[in-house]
């Protein structure tokens, strides 16, 4: 079981937010059209990146634990759609996750590996009941 803490502080410039966790700092912002300064990805882009990063890291962890698996290529493209409601609230309403992977596995084992990546990805598992997702293997 893990516990993660991120401290987020609104900066004076536009909608810039400085996030700190462990020894890392990263900036979130909104684009100019949303009255931000476009100094960094927006929170939805970080969410999509978290899905892709988690799946990629999970793939590497599986490769490290399986001596007969070699990943030649692993790429995740995540697209998110948002909806804004009449009360001005908004949310991510759909995600498409496209995984492009090349391994040394047979087609059946390759498909099993990709399904295991999805199943073991903490971020995907945390979001799957809240956001409809299409997952495409290539």
* Mean pLDDT score across all residues of the chain: 98
Q: What is the pLDDT of residue 109?
A: 98
- How far apart, in whole angstroms, are the C-alpha atoms of residue 123 and residue 129? 11
- CATH of 43-137 given 1.20.1250.20, 3.30.300.20, 3.20.20.80, 3.40.50.2300: 3.30.300.20
Would you say 76 and 52 are in contact if contact means Cβ atoms under 8 Å apart? yes
Local confidence band at 81 (pLDDT 50, 70, 90 cut-offs) = very high
Q: What is the pLDDT of residue 70?
A: 99
Quick: pLDDT tens for 34-79. Answer: 999 999 999 999 999 999 999 999 999 999 999 999 999 999 999 9
* Helix H or strand E segment including 101: strand 90-103
């Amino acid at each position: 079981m893990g516990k993660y803490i991120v401290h987020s502080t609104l900066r004076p410039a536009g909608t810039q937010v400085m996030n700190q966790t462990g020894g890392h700092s990263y900036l979130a912002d909104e684009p100019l059209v949303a009255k931000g300064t476009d100094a960094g990805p927006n929170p939805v882009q970080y969410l999509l990146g978290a899905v892709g990063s988690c799946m990629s890291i999970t793939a590497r962890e599986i490769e490290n634990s399986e001596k007969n698996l070699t990943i030649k290529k692993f790429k995740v493209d995540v697209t998110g759609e948002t909806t804004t409601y009449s009360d001005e609230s908004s949310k991510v309403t759909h995600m498409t996750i496209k995984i492009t992977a090349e391994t040394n596995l047979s087609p059946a084992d390759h498909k099993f590996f990709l399904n295991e990546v999805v199943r073991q990805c903490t971020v995907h598992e945390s979001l799957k009941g809240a956001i409809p997702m299409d997952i495409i293997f290539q």
